[in-house]
Structure formats: C-alpha cells, structure tokens
C-alpha cells in the first residue's frame, strides 16, 4: 500500500464510528483500518492516492477530517507553526487592541489580511499605527488573556520527543512568540518586533516585516540548516500569509483556516484539534505526550 488515509474526529463533539470508517474504506478501496485512538482517529492503507471527493461524500457531512499521505516518510522532523489562531486561539493584535478600545476597528483589518484581501505589510502597519500611545503594560495584560489551542502542547512535546525541531513563525509580535515558545517548548521563534519607548507603543514595527515570504524563507532556511529535505517538514497555519509555506512543506495543513486557505492547501483540519497533526503522522494515542 503506497498511501495512508487518516480520519480524525473532533473528540469533544463527535465519535469516529465503525460505520463511518467502513464507508470511507469502501470509497477509498482501502485495506483494514488501524485504530490510532479509539473513537477519535484511524488510518486506512490505500493502494494509491485516495479520491478525496469520494472520501468526503462517504463521510456524509460528519465532523471528521481526512488527510492522505504517502506511506513513507510520514513522521516529520521539522515543525513550523503559525501562532495566532493556530497555536493560540485568538489574534493577539486584536486582543491588544481591546486595551486601546479599538478592537472593533482593528479586527476587520486583521480578517482582511488573513483572507488575503489586502497586502499583509500594509495591513500590519495600519493596525500598529492605530495603537500608538498604548501603554506597554497592555502587552502583559494581553498575554495574561491568551489561551493555547487544544493539542498545542501535545503537538510540540511529542514531536520534540521524537527528534523534531520545532519553530514558531508568526506575522505577529515577538513579545508574544517568545512567551508562547517558552511555555510550550518551541526550539525557535520568529516574529515582528513591536517598537516602544519603554512606556508606550510608538505606532511602528521594526523592519524587516515578517510576512508570507518570510515564513516560506524560514521553512527553506531551517530545513537546510538541519540537513532536511522539504519532504521531512510539517507546516501548519490558518491565514493567507501561511499559504506559501503550507504549499511547499512536506505536509502543509490548513488549520481551521480561512476559506481561501483551506481551499488551496493540500491538507486541512476543519474539526479536530492540533493532536490531529500527530495522528496524520501515524502517532498512536499512547505515544502522545499530554500536559
């Protein structure tokens, strides 16, 4: 069997039933399933890349994700993860804007940028300029409100335990990526630097701005630095600025992504949490390191 098809349910909302697995097995002309996590994840060996439209039809609208991969080289040795709305549950700049009373003005610009409707650099500069004069203390207050996405800690800990390098690459700000990286155990973090005068934000962001090109550059540079082919890399993100690295990584996954990103990516998780990235690599539940 040359390929494996992994089915992953949202463990909080549904059950991956034997009936659903059987329907997908027939649609994909697959072999007997292996259960990775009871009622949550299973994999099916396939003689060729499965017809994902047929797989989707077999799932009949059930909140179950399906990711197909070659059977060889499934476990990736480099993880690149977006931060906002991926590793953490919100857009940190929108939460920061709350303390300026500007969330309703800034959040739509964030959405437009993540949907690829406006230039990312332009949108970032506009939003940061609107925050000029915000006390630096708002950064700490925002950090205290940040929550990690379900499965984020397990993803990083499990991949690191199996020898992978983990990197957080964000179009957000290093103030937050540094703290997220330290909390979850990322080896590397890379983000924009928000400028301030020790008391208040200046309304500027340092150059160079970390945009979609920089995320792709990070993928290439880190894989080369660690002697890894791109096939050995995993990238995950939700926005338009993530798409180039998702398309070039060995496994690029659009995570609860904006519609344009989900449509363009080769793999997506629309229902499951970040543990789904481990199941896609063939990890069994017993191998996952939980907090």
Q: What is the CATH number of the domain that holds 53?
A: 3.30.70.260
Q: Indicate the SS3 state at residue 228.
A: coil
Assess if residue 120 is contained within a domain: no
Tokens 């929108």 belong to 94
**Sorting pLDDT into bands at 50, 70 and 90, what band is 1?**
confident
- Rounded Cα gap, residues 241 and 251, in angstroms: 17
pLDDT of residue 15: 87
What does the pLDDT look like over 139-156, one tens digit per residue?
A: 999 999 999 999 999 999
Assess if residue 58 is contained within a domain: yes
Among the listed residues 10, 65, 84, 238, the single catalytic one is: 84
Average pLDDT, the chain: 96
Residue-range definition of the domain harbouring residue 54: 1-72
What does the pLDDT look like over 176-214, one tens digit per residue?
A: 999 999 999 999 999 999 999 999 999 999 999 999 999
Environment class of residue 139 by beta-carbon count within 10 Å: exposed (0-12), middle (13-18) or buried (19+)?
A: buried
Assess if residue 62 is contained within a domain: yes
pLDDT of residue 222: 98
CB 255 within 8 A of CB 237: yes
pLDDT of residue 14: 80
Whether 94 is catalytic: no
pLDDT of residue 11: 85
Among the listed residues 10, 51, 65, 82, the single catalytic one is: 82
Relative to beta strand 78-81, strand 251-255 is: unpaired
- Which candidate, 6, 259, 281, places its Cα nearest to that of 161? 281
Looking at the 3D structure of the chain, how many domains does it have?
1
Environment class of residue 90 by beta-carbon count within 10 Å: exposed (0-12), middle (13-18) or buried (19+)?
A: middle
pTM: 0.95
Whether 10 is catalytic: no
Residues 6+ away with beta carbon under 8 Å from 37: 11, 279, 284, 285
**Sorting pLDDT into bands at 50, 70 and 90, what band is 13?**
confident
pLDDT of residue 268: 97
- Which candidate, 271, 267, 269, 274, places its Cα nearest to that of 289? 274
pLDDT of residue 28: 95
Q: What is the mean pLDDT of residues 259-281?
A: 96
Assess if residue 67 is contained within a domain: yes
Q: Is the pLDDT of residue 291 over 80?
A: no
What does the pLDDT look like over 43-89, one tens digit per residue?
A: 999 999 999 999 999 999 999 999 999 999 999 999 999 999 999 99
Residues 6+ away with beta carbon under 8 Å from 275: 8, 11, 150, 151, 154, 155, 288
Q: What is the mean pLDDT of residues 262-288?
A: 97
Tokens 């017993």 belong to 286
Assess if residue 47 is contained within a domain: yes
Assess if residue 20 is contained within a domain: yes
Assess if residue 100 is contained within a domain: no
Assess if residue 7 is contained within a domain: yes
């Amino acid at each position: 069997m040359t390929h494996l098809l992994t089915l992953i349910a949202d463990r909080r909302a549904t059950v991956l039933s034997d009936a659903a697995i059987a329907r997908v097995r027939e649609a994909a002309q697959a072999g007997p399933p292996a259960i990775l996590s009871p009622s949550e994840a299973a994999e099916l060996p396939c003689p060729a890349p499965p017809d994902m439209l047929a797989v989707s039809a077999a799932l009949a609208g059930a909140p179950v994700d399906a990711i197909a991969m070659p059977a060889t080289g499934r476990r990736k040795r480099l993880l690149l993860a977006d931060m906002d709305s991926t590793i953490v549950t919100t857009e940190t700049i929108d939460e920061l804007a709350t303390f300026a009373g500007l969330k309703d003005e800034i959040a739509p610009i964030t959405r437009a940028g993540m949907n690829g409707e406006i230039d990312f650099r332009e949108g970032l500069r506009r939003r940061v300029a609107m925050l000029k004069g915000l006390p630096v203390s708002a950064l700490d207050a925002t950090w205290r409100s940040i929550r990690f996405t379900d499965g984020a800690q397990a993803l990083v800990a499990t991949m690191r335990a199996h020898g992978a390098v983990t990197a957080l690459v964000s179009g957000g700000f290093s103030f937050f990526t540094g703290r997220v990286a330290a909390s979850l155990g990322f080896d590397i973090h890379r983000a924009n630097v928000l400028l301030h005068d020790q008391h208040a934000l200046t309304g500027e962001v340092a150059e160079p701005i970390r945009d979609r090109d920089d995320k792709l550059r990070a993928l290439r540079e880190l894989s080369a630095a660690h002697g890894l082919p791109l096939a050995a890399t995993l990238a995950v993100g939700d926005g338009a600025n993530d798409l180039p690295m998702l398309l070039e990584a060995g496994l690029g996954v659009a995570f609860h992504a904006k519609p344009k990103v989900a449509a363009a990516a080769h793999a997506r998780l629309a229902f499951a949490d970040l543990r789904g990235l481990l199941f896609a690599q063939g990890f069994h539940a017993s191998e996952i390191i939980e907090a």
